[in-house]
Structure 1
């Protein structure tokens, strides 16, 4: 069935001019699509959608017409062609988005979204995402923790990730997002491509947008309600996806957060100046917690104590 024939059929249905066979065709088509919960996009040239919906949902007073088998086969064939062509009215089938939550417990977790985008979640992180993307944009939410995303390119449907007050929009790229409530920061670091970062819910930043290119990082400080853009090695930032930890002039409190995620421990500081210590170090996936703590302490004149799963850093 050609699109022009479909258009005329729908117009006749709205006007009440369909034959009994045609009327059954439209209503059976509607019923099957509702059961399948299928989503299609309708061209703007179709007759008034609300009028069509109202007429389909009207109580029928006429008796159902018995039709020959050959007529039913023709109708079935028309339904298949009609559905396959994708010419249906989207308003007839309101789509409910089903949200899921991915939680990485003790180890990083990798998942593939319905658009083929790949997300790596660091240990202790939570991501909220739909079972399938509907509408003009693809949106997910990093509830807490850290995620590295390789976004499938789809310029017609921009990809957006929310993390607290920060909204990051991309067309197709690889980037890393950190959203640690404990540190009251959100960090976005681009490895490939380009992203636009906004903080519309922050009054003093509303209307402002920061564009990030490869190896650029934006840090949003929740307490100060401000952000800072700087150059960073994005490959180091996302090294955790392979089990490695690479730090280049990184704050000790952020390093501690990553150690907590990887090794399942709790880290505190005996001196309130220690969290701001800047440290450069690298560790392989096979390194034990004791290996990491010893190396950090030796190179940075630190001392640590371990009490079960609790670790305390202090100055030497």
Structure 2
């Protein structure tokens, strides 16, 4: 048993993780194993070698092996059974050391980040699922795990998903206030950080929506259904409704895919938030009463100045645009 323990203790000694009791036990074992004293020095010297900034895995492995191989060749003549046993011990100790060096690189997540700026961004994920990101939206996933151990993404903003079927790994979208699990379907998720609500609209298939702030609660949506939750963490109100459609029968939540922003009897404050995302601007109100004005309509691809002029036809206000700043006044 002592032959097994000594190699474990040598690895802990080299990495600096050995306790006082284990160090005392190691010294006692070394006294009975003279070759182990050489291993103790060798293991420490290898551990203390500078590794610089570690690059990709194959290079790291080669660097470690080159250092170990040179030192091992100069430390032993592989003759006696006792020294052959010591050589085997080196492999164990070096394996421990290499593991401690490589562990952060093996297990640290590698984020794949896709961001849409002032326009839309279409992308295909490694599993074949298709995503269209709306203006100023961000999708993040771990490309070492995605499609292999899971299919989980985190969304900030708005996106339309067409999810490829994969029975072994459900597709999961995380937002700040809801998690959406699906096996294969198409749906829209709107979860901008500045929005007062977060919503998902199912177009086809079936999804299950759960809520991080309400453990154990889940809602299954059918096609043309919609879930809305408040963005404020203190609220637990969940609204389930049918998706609103335009005259052609298309869900209005999807009109952004055709470069259209739809609003129906919405306050100027709410509309301003949508316009900020749509145009990449900041909108400021000189008087709080202006924020309560109500508007209905559709914004297409026209510049923001043209949109504001169109809004002026139904409500009285003035505006000024300077670079990316918009000022609304009476």
**TM-score over 0.5 for the alignment?**
yes
Provide the secondary structure at the position in 2 that maps to 1:293: helix
Q: Which residue of 2 aligns with 1:296?
A: 311
Structure 1 residues 146 and 252: alpha-carbon distance in aligned structure 2, compared to 1, 3 A threshold:
farther
Which of residues 109, 118, 127 is equivalent to 1:115? 127
Which of residues 137, 143, 152 is equivalent to 2:164? 152
TM-score scaled by length of structure 2: 0.59
RMSD between superposed Cα atoms in Å: 3.0
Which of residues 206, 209, 232 is equivalent to 1:194? 206
Does the Cα contact within 8 Å between 2:127 and 2:147 map onto a contact in 1?
A: no
1:269-284 paired onto structure 2 within 5 Å: 269-272=285-288, 275=291, 279-284=295-300
Does the Cα contact within 8 Å between 1:252 and 1:279 map onto a contact in 2?
A: yes
What is the Cα deviation at residue 95 of structure 1? 8.3
- Could you say which structure has the higher helix fraction? 2
Q: Is 1:219 the counterpart of 2:234 in the alignment? A: no
1:112-261 paired onto structure 2 within 5 Å: 112-131=124-143, 133-135=146-148, 137-142=150-155, 144-200=156-212, 202=213, 205-223=214-232, 224-226=234-236, 227-233=238-244, 235-261=251-277
Matched residues, number: 223
Distance 1:106 1:246 in 2: 18
Does the Cα contact within 8 Å between 1:194 and 1:213 map onto a contact in 2?
A: yes
Q: Deviations over 1:268-311 (max 9, x none)?
A: 334446556553211333x2212211222323445433333222
Distance 2:292 2:142 in 1: 37
Distance 1:212 1:277 in 2: 33
Q: Which residue of 1 aligns with 2:99?
A: none
Provide the secondary structure at the position in 1 that maps to 2:161: strand
Q: After TM superposition, what 4+ stretches of structure 1 lie above 6 angstroms from structure 2?
A: none
Distance 2:126 2:87 in 1: 40
Structure 1 residues 269 and 214: alpha-carbon distance in aligned structure 2, compared to 1, 3 A threshold:
farther
Q: Deviations over 1:8-30 (max 9, x none)?
A: xxxxxxxxxxxxxxxxxxxxxxx
Does the Cα contact within 8 Å between 1:248 and 1:281 map onto a contact in 2?
A: yes
Structure 1 residues 100 and 308: alpha-carbon distance in aligned structure 2, compared to 1, 3 A threshold:
same
What is the Cα deviation at residue 145 of structure 1? 1.6
> For structure 1, which runs of at least 5 residues remain unmatched after alignment?
1-33, 36-58, 62-93
TM-score scaled by length of structure 1: 0.61
Between stretches 207-216 and 246-255, larger displacement belongs to: 246-255
Q: Deviations over 1:45-92 (max 9, x none)?
A: xxxxxxxxxxxxxx998xxxxxxxxxxxxxxxxxxxxxxxxxxxxxxx
Q: Which residue of 2 aligns with 1:21?
A: none
What is the Cα deviation at residue 135 of structure 1? 4.6
- Higher radius of gyration, 1 or 2: 2
Structure 1 residues 252 and 211: alpha-carbon distance in aligned structure 2, compared to 1, 3 A threshold:
farther
Does the Cα contact within 8 Å between 2:126 and 2:147 map onto a contact in 1?
A: no
What is the Cα deviation at residue 251 of structure 1? 4.9
Which of residues 297, 305, 308 is equivalent to 2:320? 305
Distance 2:191 2:326 in 1: 22
Provide the secondary structure at the position in 2 that maps to 1:241: helix
Structure 1 residues 297 and 272: alpha-carbon distance in aligned structure 2, compared to 1, 3 A threshold:
same
Does the Cα contact within 8 Å between 2:263 and 2:295 map onto a contact in 1?
A: yes
What is the Cα deviation at residue 146 of structure 1? 1.4
